[in-house]
Chains A and B, each alone.
Chain A
Amino acid sequence: MWERLNNWLEVRIGVDDLIRSQVSEYRVPKNINIFYTFGFVAAVGYLIQVLSGIMLLIYYVPHPDHAFRSVQDIMLKVPYGWLFRQMHVMGSNLMIAAIGLHMLTVFVMGNYKRPRELTWIGGALLLFVTIAFGFSGYLLPWTQLSYWATTVVTSIPTAVPVVGDFVARILRGGDQVTGATLSRFFAFHVSILPPLFLLLAGFHLFLVKRIGISATPFGLPAEEKRPWTEYHKKSHVDGYPYYPRFFQMDMLMVMVYLAVMFFLITFLPNIFFPADATIPADPFKTPVSVRPEWYLLAQYQLLKIIPNKFLGVIIQLALFAVFLLWPFFDTEKEKNIMKRPMLRVLFLFAFILWVILMFWGRS
């Protein structure tokens, strides 16, 4: 019976063939390591966000008179509501960390180099869409912290002459953050960003499949290290099959991701809920400690220390452009970062600066 059903499906869909070509016979480089799993972990993280987000949608009310109350009810009254909200909140932070680590790995391995420039850009855009998810979701509980953090961020475009005020009004749906802003952010969070994310992820995966997984730059013959000048698929015929070897590595890291998530939910449940995140929004009182989530703290601190608002915003935009278009700035053929002292120094400087700004912004 099972065999007949399987044959029936095989004729029509070709699942066995698909699994064979894409999983069990799909080869990955021999020197691939555990750091290559962060992309898969981020994809699983997105799935968790979608499922927990759907659960929250059942009880959440996107209206300034009800949003705070409905989130409190999810946490306190709805059976297991706390679990799905905690998974969504922790997951949003962990997913950004997973994508950040994935990009860090790609950077250190030099895997953004020709012909993978567009794969890097797709990944960087995915990181920004994920941050946009975090930022738009931040307003939805309508707390003091979310209200004023949104006020600050939606004021950033006003630094741009001529069109800045108009852009800020479009973002907010008015002069201030109001119910119109909540509606806009809600629509953005649940109906615009998800298809945008899937579109970018599809583009990113298409490129990964088309060009093939890039091997690590360590311990390979010189021929392998030279960037390509014409298209050929990197199929790694001498590599290991994706399943079971690399799939096990992927699943191990998914387990680590889930373990971290549930560790935080169990032992540090308030790590992303400071005091102002438990007070309903008051449009006439700015709390003393307005600050965004950890992943925006460095940018926030940079805005704080640069005395000129326009200059502050321009520097942020320039840094964004350099990050996004990095493969076009770094045209050196050598992929191995251990053989590039200047790049190592630059990377360490940028990373340490980011960490310092983050902790400074937090204090």
Chain B
Amino acid sequence: MKRRSFLKLALAFLGTTSLAAFVYPIFRYLAPSAGGERSNTLSIAKRDIPLGEAKEIVFNNIPAVVLNRPGKGLIAVSRVCTHLGCLVQYDRENKRLLCPCHAGVYDLEGNIVSGPPPKPLPKLPLRVEGETIVIG
């Protein structure tokens, strides 16, 4: 190999590796670190949610809703619509959860009734301890 070709190759190699060395730091710099503070559980007094009513909560930075369904008991589901991330609202009259952005409709289990959402609303673990509802 000629000296000039070798030098060209060496320069190209050094230039490429120098640039490549920045790829990972840039990627890490832009990728957000894993979520903020997370609590294990969230407690709510049972009397705060009468039958047929709902209470909006925020659990581990996720907006959610706890529903007290007549005949079916308590359930906690995420309020983040699985379509494009707007927050669903509880429609007491029709017993549904509605997304105001693209008209996604879910039942009170979080299952899709109509509209463009691709997945049901994620359920949050919930248990009742005496007069307290524990989420998480």
A→B interface (CB under 8 Å):
148, 151-156, 158-159, 166, 169-170, 172-176, 180, 283-290, 303-304, 306-310, 312
A284 touching B83 in the complex, CB below 8 Å, given contacts A174-B32, A306-B116: no
Instruction: Name which of B17-25, B67-75, B95-103, B122-130 contacts chain A.
Output: B95-103
A154 and B103 CA atoms in complex are apart in Å by 18
Q: Which of A152, A169, A170 contacts B86 (CB 8 A)?
A: A152
Given A148-B86, A172-B32, A286-B100, A310 and B116 contact (CB-CB distance below 8 Å): no
**Inter-chain contact B83/A309, CB cutoff 8 Å:** yes
Contact partner, B61, options A152, A153, A175, A309, Cβ 8 Å: A175
Determine whether the beta carbon of A156 is less than 8 Å from that of B84: yes
Mask of B16-46 contacts with A, CB within 8 angstroms, 1/0: 0000000000000011100100000000000
Among all A-B residue pairs, the 5 with the closest Cβ atoms? A155-B85, A155-B84, A286-B87, A286-B86, A152-B84
Residues of A within 8 A of B35 (CB): 174-175
Question: Which residues does chain A contribute within 8 Å of B58, judged by CB atoms?
Answer: 284
Query: Is B52 in contact with chain A by the CB < 8 A criterion?
Result: no
Interfacial chain B residues near A303, Cβ < 8 Å? 84, 102, 116
B102 and A176 contacting across the interface, CB-CB below 8 Å:
no
B101 in contact with A290 (CB, 8 Å): yes
CB pair A176–B61 under 8 Å, yes or no, is: yes
- List the B side residues contacting A284 at CB < 8 Å: 56, 58, 63, 87
User: A308 and B87 in contact (CB under 8 A), knowing A174-B32, A284-B56?
Assistant: no
Q: What CA separation (Å) do A248 and B102 show in the bound complex?
A: 48
> Which chain A positions have C-beta within 8 A of B84?
151-153, 155-156, 158, 303, 309
- Is B50 interfacial (CB-CB < 8 Å)? no
User: Interface size bucket, B side?
Assistant: 20 to 34
Tell me the minimal C-beta distance from B121 to chain A in angstroms.
Answer: 14
**Inter-chain contacts of B30 with A (CB < 8 A):** 170
When A308-B116, A312-B116 are in contact, do A290 and B86 touch as well, CB less than 8 Å? yes
Beyond A152-B85, A174-B32, A308-B118, is A287–B56 a contact (Cβ under 8 Å)? no
CB distance from B23 to the nearest CB of A (A): 14
When chains A and B are docked, how far (Å) is the Cα of A288 from the Cα of B30? 32
Selected from B101, B117, B118, the residue in CB contact (under 8 A) with A152 is: B101
Do A307 and B116 contact each other (CB < 8 Å), given the known contacts A169-B31, A284-B87? yes
A-B contact pairs, 14 of them (CB 8 A): A148-B101, A151-B85, A156-B84, A159-B118, A170-B30, A175-B35, A176-B85, A284-B58, A284-B63, A286-B101, A289-B100, A290-B100, A307-B116, A308-B116
A173, B32: Cβ atoms closer than 8 Å: yes
Determine how close the nearest CB of chain B comes to the CB of A179; give it in whole angstroms: 11
Q: What residues on A are CB-neighbors of B103 within 8 Å?
A: 304
CB distance from B128 to the nearest CB of A (A): 25
Interchain nearest-CB distance for B66 vs A (Å): 14
User: Using Cβ atoms and an 8 Å threshold, which residues of chain A touch B118?
Assistant: 159, 308-310
One of B32, B83, B99 near A169 (C-beta < 8 A)? B32
Q: How far is the CA of A148 from the CA of B84 in the complex (A)?
A: 10
Determine the chain A residues whose CB is within 8 A of the CB of B102 once the complex forms: 303-304
Alpha-carbon distance A29/B81, docked complex (angstroms):
55
A175 CA to B58 CA, complexed, in Å: 14
